[in-house]
Amino acid sequence: MNKQTTQSLAASAKATHKMHIINPTLFSYFIRRQSILLAVIALCVAAYSAMIIAMWPLFIDEGFQETMELLAASLPGMDTQSFLMTLGEYLETQWLGAYLLPLAGAALIVFAARAIAGSISDGSMETMCAAPLGRAVYVTTVVAVLLVASLVLSIAAIVPLAALGPLFEAKLSMQTSLLLVIGAWLVLFVFGLIVLAVSAWTRGVVLSAAVAVAFILVMLVLYVATPMVEFLENLNPINLLYWWGSAGIIDSGAAEAGLWIWLAIVGGVSLLVCYLGFLKRDLT
């Protein structure tokens, strides 16, 4: 953080400290620092969404279905339904369920890991909090940035599906598109809060990022293995990808009620853990 930013932060801290909301200077600082990475990942997310929706006609092509029927007949214990998918199942398995969180989550991992653990390890946290800047205001400002970043990524993921869908026999209704944007936004936001909570209790960006990556890998393994290993279904309630349920939103036009409850609980707990951890941290 340069001298000019520090001075501006010190001036605005006096106003925001009394209101206990967010610090606009710190908010804009984090947005600027994150903007390039966020823009690049958002473009990658949008491009992948466009590619996936453009491939949908291949999965409903009669020739493809005949090939799947032949393949099913040649494999013991398999039937045609094992290979044929609804639009929701297709988008979930090929994009929204399996790959959105790892790809879009990369930007959130970098930001959340740097926001607390990284700022402490590089010495900038001590400078910022000497502004003076209350720790509560710092946390709420970081959370506000996470909200914005998550929204940008969710829009990048869903808008190409809704905009290009009619061109490829995959029209999504306005209600479904809105639910997908809101759902993806909150899932990514809660994931960011989890990484932020880890960052508040660890020292160094690498360790925080490593824990976040491990968390994603565990969820992906459970997501992929659960249909094949019956006893893993007992772990579904703790899997973020299970509650996301994008296939259900696309095929039925409604989200599971448990999604919002689960996100509220996990998000609230993560935010509390983050705040308590940050309060106890030595900033030097």
Across 159-173, 182-196, 236-250, least confident range: 236-250
pLDDT value of residue 271 = 92
pLDDT value of residue 249 = 92
Give the closest residue to 173 by CA, choosing from 98, 48, 92, 88: 88
Over 90: is that where the pLDDT of 245 sits?
Answer: no
Average pLDDT, the chain: 81
Question: 237: pLDDT confidence band, cut at 50, 70 and 90?
Answer: confident
Q: Counting beta carbons within 10 angstroms of the beta carbon of residue 282, is it exposed (0 to 12), middle (13 to 18) or buried (19 or more)?
A: exposed
Q: How many CA atoms lie within 13 A of 2 on its CB side?
A: 4
Over 80: is that where the pLDDT of 64 sits?
Answer: no
C-alpha to C-alpha distance for 218 and 246, rounded to whole angstroms? 19
Q: Average pLDDT in the 49-53 region? A: 95
By residue range, what is the domain housing residue 54?
Answer: 3-280
Distance of CA 149 to the CA centre of its chain: 9
DSSP for 174-210, please give it: HHHHHHHHHHHHHHHHHHHHHHHHHHHHSSSHHHHHH
Over 90: is that where the pLDDT of 163 sits?
Answer: yes
Across 118-122, 219-223, 252-256, least confident range: 118-122
Question: 75: pLDDT confidence band, cut at 50, 70 and 90?
Answer: low
C-alpha to C-alpha distance for 73 and 68, rounded to whole angstroms? 8
Q: Average pLDDT in the 248-269 region? A: 88
pLDDT value of residue 178 = 95
Q: Average pLDDT in the 73-93 region? A: 69
pLDDT value of residue 44 = 94
Over 70: is that where the pLDDT of 192 sits?
Answer: yes
Tokens found for residue 43: 């473009």
Contact between 202 and 208 under an 8 Å Cβ cutoff? The reply is: yes
Print burial letters for 98-126: b (CB count within 10 Å at least 16), e (below 16): ebbbeebbbbbbbbbbbbbbbbbbeebbe
C-alpha to C-alpha distance for 230 and 253, rounded to whole angstroms? 28
Question: 54: pLDDT confidence band, cut at 50, 70 and 90?
Answer: very high
pLDDT value of residue 14 = 52
Q: How many CA atoms lie within 13 A of 163 on its CB side?
A: 11
Q: How many domains does the chain have?
A: 1
Q: How far is CA 111 from CA 58, 75, 90, 212, in A?
A: 37, 46, 31, 12
pLDDT value of residue 19 = 52
φ, ψ dihedrals at 256, nearest 5°: -65, 135
Contacts of residue 103, defined as CB under 8 A and 6 or more positions apart, other chains included, come to: 41, 44, 45, 48
pLDDT value of residue 155 = 96
pLDDT value of residue 13 = 52
Between 242 and 39, the higher pLDDT residue: 39
Over 70: is that where the pLDDT of 31 sits?
Answer: yes
Q: Average pLDDT in the 225-245 region? A: 80
